[in-house]
Homo-oligomer: A and B are copies of this chain.
Amino acid sequence: MILNEFLQAAAEVVGVENLLLGTDTVGFDVDWRGRYQGKALCVARPGSTQEVSELMALCMRHGVEVVPQGGNTGLCGAATPSADGNQMVVWLGRMNNVRAFSEIDGSITLDAGCVLETVQNLVAEQGYFFPMSLGAEGSCQIGGNIATNAGGTAVLRYGPMRDLVLGLEVVLPDGTVHDWLTPLRKNNTGYDLKQLFMGAEGTLGIITAATLKVFPAPKVRELAMVTLHSVGQALTLLHRVRRSLGERLLSCEIINWAQVALVLKHAQGAHWPFAEPSPWCLLIEVTETLEGYDLRGALETELEKALEAELITDAVVATSQAQQNSLWQLRHSVSEANKLEGYGVTHDTAVPLSQQGVFATEVEQRLMQAYPQGQVLMVGHIGDGNIHVIHMFQRDQHSAEQLASATRGVHQLVDDVTLSLGGTVSAEHGIGQTNKARLQASRSPQDLALMKAIKGVIDPDRRMNPGKVFD
């Protein structure tokens, strides 16, 4: 069972039952979408920061490369080992304790392996609110959320994961533990080193714990869906709602009809609440902390004004939790529906908010001209400028070569429009393996050189998650 000195030593650190070998690594060798198939040398499942530190020191001595893995729900292959069988996966899932919760500090300190949904629920039980929310919340882990600077549906109001982190504990490739865990709201003693590790996708070290902000729980949440003709109208509406309802606005998600239709086709129980289809629809969620405040009335007033101004064509405000769930289902079922439908070429672009109308029109026109056999789906976070474009092909109508070629062409087309509008090719999913070439194309050579120089300082042997972000 124990193959060599390194594996024996690793097993001594984490316990033999927590060092997986051979076929036991299968579940850790492939990414969630099944696009990257690797093979781990072994999977270590440390139970403490100390064990992570010992593992890292051991890997340094033996020159072993390390791939940190959390829920393995990332979409860019950042947590998948290479196929050469030389990399150790460090899976954080056993480290899932809450270390501290403080109402007055407005903070929770926890191990990196805690599952996001568990954290949301724990915080809610205390009467507070942790706003990070995304499709994979039932299995993604806090450490992965931080390492990828996750986005989701509440960025509009609360910012990405980076903005929710007060403190961090990281282990460097040589085993050094940096304990920056703190509920402090302000600290200007030197460089804010933790910022480097957020969004670095495990290429600089392993995040082992974090102190996160929690917020007063909303007393009430209201949800509306509206139909409208264009992204431009959606932007105007968003702008108006924001100016009047202010920080009550939590989420604003846009979906085009092609995408709604696929959800209605594939998601069981999905229901379109209007009599007619609509080119676009918008989900608007608002919250309020004040007891007894008529939030629904305030939202309805805004929507009535928008109807009068002919900004929207119809609106429905959910009057029960069940109705809210039903409306959200149209949004949350997108990934599953698309998986069932066919082969989707997906994008994670953001453009400046003001450019989203041009972006949507331009991309749709160009895609339908260049790849008329596909279907243009759009869904995303309009308040963040982050519209995901998915060009959907039927698998049975195209060869693998055709699909591979189309994927490259579609990416190129969407990226060209994105970059011409001052946008980014990776708004919230990161780089991982998927977007390495696009990173090269979208950042300046001097930016890339500076990133690599910083990487060289922290990981001189380039053993942390090699082959991810850059080569």
A140 to B184, CA, bound (A): 25
Interface code A359-391, partner B: CB below 8 Å = 1, 0 otherwise? 000000000000000000000010111100000
Identical copies in the complex: 2
Instruction: Select which of B163, B423, B453 is within 8 A of A184 by beta carbon.
Output: B423
Q: Is A331 an interface residue (CB 8 A)?
A: no
A111 to chain B, nearest CB (A): 19
Instruction: Select which of B182, B384, B447, B450 is within 8 A of A352 by beta carbon.
Output: B182
In contact, A245 and B290 (Cβ under 8 angstroms): yes
The interface centre, meaning the residue of A163, A245, A247, A384 with most chain B CB atoms within 10 A of its CB, is: A247
In contact, B187 and A290 (Cβ under 8 angstroms): no
Residues of B within 8 A of A450 (CB): 178, 193, 457-458
Residues of B within 8 A of A163 (CB): 159, 163
Interface code A20-64, partner B: CB below 8 Å = 1, 0 otherwise? 000000000000000000000000000000000000000000000
Among residues of B, the one whose C-beta sits closest to the C-beta of A355 is B105
A460 to B469, CA, bound (A): 25
Given contacts A102-B352, A216-B243, A239-B103, contact A427 B186 (CB under 8 A): yes
Residues 161-194 (chain A) with a chain B CB within 8 angstroms: 162-163, 176, 178-179, 182-193
A7 to B137, CA, bound (A): 60
Q: Is A155 an interface residue (CB 8 A)?
A: yes
Q: Is A350 an interface residue (CB 8 A)?
A: yes
Q: What is the number of residues of chain A that contact chain B, defined by CB distance less than 8 Å?
A: 87
In contact, B185 and A192 (Cβ under 8 angstroms): no
Instruction: Select which of B186, B422, B423, B425 is within 8 A of A151 by beta carbon.
Output: B186
A152 to chain B, nearest CB (A): 10
A458 to B457, CA, bound (A): 11
A469 to chain B, nearest CB (A): 6
A positions within 8 Å CB-CB of B: 102-107, 148-149, 151, 155, 159-160, 162-163, 176, 178-179, 182-193, 195-196, 198-200, 216, 218, 235, 239, 242-247, 288-291, 298, 350-354, 381, 383-386, 422-431, 435, 438-439, 442-444, 446-448, 450-451, 453-454, 456-458, 469-470
Closest 10 interchain pairs by CB?
A246-B289, A195-B195, A104-B354, A186-B427, A247-B247, A187-B424, A185-B384, A216-B243, A453-B457, A183-B352
